[in-house]
Amino acid sequence: MTKEVISLPPEAFLKEAIILMSKNNIGCVLILNNTGKTIGIITEQDVLDLYNQHQDINKLQLQEGIELYLEQNLSINQQLKKIYFC
């Protein structure tokens, strides 16, 4: 049995990711570009971190969150840990 991949485009808002995680009882959402390629992942921990960095998360798009994490220079191992534990 295959499960549906839960994903959002980078233009989606952080609030949408939170709702998807809550409704589907999952800890992360994949971020896919318009060709269906995975370009990122947003986890519960990311949501908490972004909430602490921004006053209004209702207006924060996922692509802005991705850029914030790229600026923080997370290693590939850190990214893989986030994927594995979600």
Domains of the chain: 7-84 (3.10.580.10)
Among 3-7, 28-32, 67-71, which stretch is predicted with the lowest mean pLDDT? 67-71
C-beta separation of 82 from 41 below 8 A: yes
pTM for the full model?
0.70
- Say if residue 23 is exposed, middle or buried (CB neighbours under 10 Å; 0-12, 13-18, 19+): exposed
Look at residue 30 and give its three-state secondary structure: strand
Identify the band that residue 74 occupies on the pLDDT scale cut at 50, 70 and 90: low
Q: Element (H or E) spanning 31, and its range?
A: strand 28-32
Q: Over the stretch 31-62, which tens digit does the pLDDT of each residue have?
A: 888 888 888 888 888 888 877 776 677 778 88
